[in-house]
């Protein structure tokens, strides 16, 4: 069995140009910076505004990353769409590029769908992709997708496709839920990534595989550090510091807008603040208040690509 991807991954925020098209150059530069901070690339996640991108925009961006020499074995692109056909297409592309895995939302338009229906969907995807390299990480994010991943579904899928069903991301924000999955499946080699670094230490102590977290876009090195040093004496102290930084971004603002504003500030690159509708960027007042708060907690982004360098 090949080595599975573990550790900290960032749902990479997607920069947009003034015409709202994806900004390939800034995206590649940000991905390279994240890798330099020991952070893997869960491109096309919720925080990436991936569902505000057309399937072909995701395809273009993934091709561009690979063409730019970004290591596919450090990537777990989001490929779960509402339609089976698009999910299969994006997943196949990721597998062909040699990505470590794919992070797969359930089809999320129809609500209250049965476990049988979801099983059929994922089963069809595995069979249609038809590649032994495929590693699926199921994406549970009920506050957004509403449609979720249940233990019963994981059990059925693991039984049918033990090689392809590699793990999950749990963005329920509910530690009890994460713990339930860890207790039930971690020992079988099913890799569980909490969807926030708030649960990084607790997750690792209970057999978790790392975390895939929004804030890893701006604070990757510190999160990756705890992921390595979680047995150290100061682990709880490290966790506490991570939580303070996370709160600075996510407690008062829409997380996606705040992350982009944070990059805009620390990269001295206002273009980064742009989001696609239906999201709205931080107001000038919020941006100012975020900056003040980040400075107050001594937040830094060492080595972040400066706007001018990217634009040049």
Residues that bind a second copy (CB under 8 A): 20, 46, 51-55, 57, 81-86, 89, 106-111, 113-114, 116-118, 120-121, 124, 143-147, 276-280
Q: How many residues does the chain have?
A: 312
**Long-range contacts of the stretch 109-116 (C-beta < 8 A, 24+):** 109/82, 110/147, 111/146, 111/147, 113/147, 115/150, 115/152, 115/153, 115/156
Toward a second copy, which CB reaches closer, 221 or 255? 255
Residue 192 phi, psi (nearest 5): -105, 120
Nearer to a second copy, 113 or 235 (CB): 113
Instruction: Please report how close the Cβ of residue 243 comes to a second copy at its closest, in angstroms.
Output: 23
Compute the least distance from the CB of residue 105 to a second copy, in Å: 9
d(CA 90, CA 79): 5
- Taking the least distance from each CB to a second copy, the nearer of 54 and 308 is 54
Ordered DSSP codes for 249-308: HHSSS-HHHHHHHHHHHHTT-GGGG---TTS-PPPHHHHHHHHHHHHHTT---TTPPPHH
Least separation, in Å, of the C-beta of 64 and a second copy? 16
Do residues 149 and 119 make contact, with C-beta atoms less than 8 angstroms apart?
no
- Quote the least distance from Cβ 21 to a second copy, whole Å: 8
Q: In what order do the strands lie in the sheet with 191-194?
A: 102-104, 136-140, 165-170, 191-194
What span, in angstroms and rounded, lies between the C-alpha atoms of 247 and 136? 30
- Closest contact distance (angstroms) between CB of 70 and a second copy is 23
Nearer to a second copy, 188 or 283 (CB): 283
Provide, rounded to whole angstroms, the least separation between the CB of residue 35 and a second copy. 27
Of 46 and 261, which CB lies nearer to a second copy in the complex structure? 46
67: tokens are 């063409």
Mapped onto helix, strand or coil, the DSSP state of residue 35 is: helix
Cβ-based nearer residue to a second copy, 108 or 230: 108
| H or E stretch at 167 | strand 165-170
CA angle 302, 11, 144 (to 5 degrees): 135
Q: How far is the CB of 258 from a second copy (least distance, A)?
A: 15
Closest approach, Cβ 145 to a second copy, in A, equals 8
Query: In the complex, what is the shortest distance from the CB of residue 255 to a second copy, in angstroms, rounded to a whole number?
Result: 11
Nearer to a second copy, 108 or 190 (CB): 108
Residue 103, phi then psi, degrees to nearest 5: -100, 120
Q: Which is nearer to a second copy, 194 or 257 (CB)?
A: 257
**C-beta of residue 226 within 8 angstroms of C-beta of residue 213:** no
Residue number with CB closer to a second copy (110 or 240): 110
**Under 8 Å between Cβ of 266 and 235:** no
């Amino acid at each position: 069995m090949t080595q599975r991807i573990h550790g900290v991954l960032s749902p990479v925020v997607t920069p947009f140009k003034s015409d709202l098209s994806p900004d390939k150059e800034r995206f590649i530069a940000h991905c390279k910076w994240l890798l330099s901070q020991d952070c893997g690339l869960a491109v096309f996640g919720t925080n990436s505004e991936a569902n505000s991108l057309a399937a072909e925009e995701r395809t273009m961006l993934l091709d561009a990353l690979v063409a730019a020499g970004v290591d596919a074995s450090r990537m777990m692109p989001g490929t779960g769409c509402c339609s089976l056909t698009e999910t299969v297409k994006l997943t196949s592309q990721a597998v062909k590029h040699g990505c470590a895995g794919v992070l797969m939302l359930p089809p999320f338009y129809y609500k209250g769908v049965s476990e049988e229906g979801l099983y059929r969907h994922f089963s069809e995807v595995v069979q249609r992709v038809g590649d032994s390299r495929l590693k699926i990480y199921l994406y549970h994010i009920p506050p957004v997708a509403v449609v979720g991943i249940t233990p019963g579904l994981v059990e059925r899928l693991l039984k049918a496709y033990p090689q392809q069903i590699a793990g999950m991301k749990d963005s329920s924000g509910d530690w009890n839920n994460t713990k339930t999955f860890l207790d039930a499946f971690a020992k079988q080699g099913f890799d569980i990534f909490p969807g926030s670094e708030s649960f990084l230490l607790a997750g690792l102590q209970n057999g978790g595989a790392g975390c895939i977290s929004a804030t890893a876009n701006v604070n990757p090195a510190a999160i990756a550090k705890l992921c390595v040093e979680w047995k150290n004496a100061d682990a709880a102290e490290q966790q506490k510091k991570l939580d303070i930084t996370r709160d600075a971004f996510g407690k008062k603002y829409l997380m996606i807008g705040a992350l982009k504003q944070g990059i805009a500030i620390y990269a001295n690159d206002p273009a980064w603040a742009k989001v696609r509708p239906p999201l709205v960027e931080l107001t000038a007042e919020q941006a100012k208040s975020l900056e003040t708060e980040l400075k107050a907690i001594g937040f830094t982004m060492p080595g972040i690509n400066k706007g001018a360098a990217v634009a040049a």
